[in-house]
Amino acid sequence: MLRIGMLTSGGDCQALNAAMRGVVKGIFSARDDVEIYGFQDGYRGLIYSDFKMLTSRDFSGILTRGGTILGTSRQPFKMMRVPDENGLDKVEAMKHTYHKLSLDCLVILGGNGTHKTANMLREEGLNVITLPKTIDNDLWGTEMTFGFQSAVDVATDTIDRIHTTATSHSRVFIIEVMGHKVGHVTLHAGIAGGADIVLIPEIPYDIDVIADVIQGRSAAGKSFTILAVAEGAISREDAKLSKKEYKEKLAKRKYPSIAYELAEQIEKATGKEVRITVPGHTQRGGSPVPYDRVFSSRVGAKAADMILNSQYGYMVGMKNGETVAVPLEEVAGKLKFVDPKCSLIKEARMVGISFGDREGDEPAEEIAAAEDVRAAEADTKKEKKEKKAKKDKKEKSKKSKKEK
**Residue numbers annotated as active site:** 136
For Cα atoms 377, 378, 382, give the angle at the middle one, nearest 5 degrees: 120
Question: Whole-angstrom Cα distance, residue 36 to residue 2?
Answer: 9
CA 259, 265, 266, 267: dihedral to nearest 10 degrees?
A: 110
- Least Cα distance to 356 among 219, 185, 230 occurs for 230
DSSP tag of 281: G
Residues linked to residue 105 through DSSP beta bridges, in sequence order: 4
Spell out the residues 6+ positions from residue 162 whose beta carbon is closer than 8 angstroms to its own.
173, 175, 226, 277
How far apart CA 47 and CA 92 sit, in angstroms, is: 8
Which residues sit opposite 53 in a β-bridge? 37
Amino acid identity of 393? K
Degrees, nearest 5: CA angle 307-308-310: 60
For residues 63 and 294, is the Cβ–Cβ distance under 8 A?
no
Cα 88 to Cα 48: distance, rounded to the nearest angstrom: 10
One-letter amino acid for residue 300 of the chain:
G
Number of C-alpha atoms within 13 angstroms, CB side, residue 225?
Answer: 29
Give the three-state DSSP class for 143. coil
Q: Is 371 exposed, middle or buried (0-12, 13-18, 19+ CB in 10 A)?
A: middle
* Nearest C-alpha neighbor of 248 from the set 379, 346, 389, 367: 379
- CA torsion 353-359-362-365 (nearest 10°) is -40
- The count of other CB atoms within 10 Å of the CB of residue 3 is 15
Question: What span, in angstroms and rounded, lies between the C-alpha atoms of 102 and 112?
Answer: 27
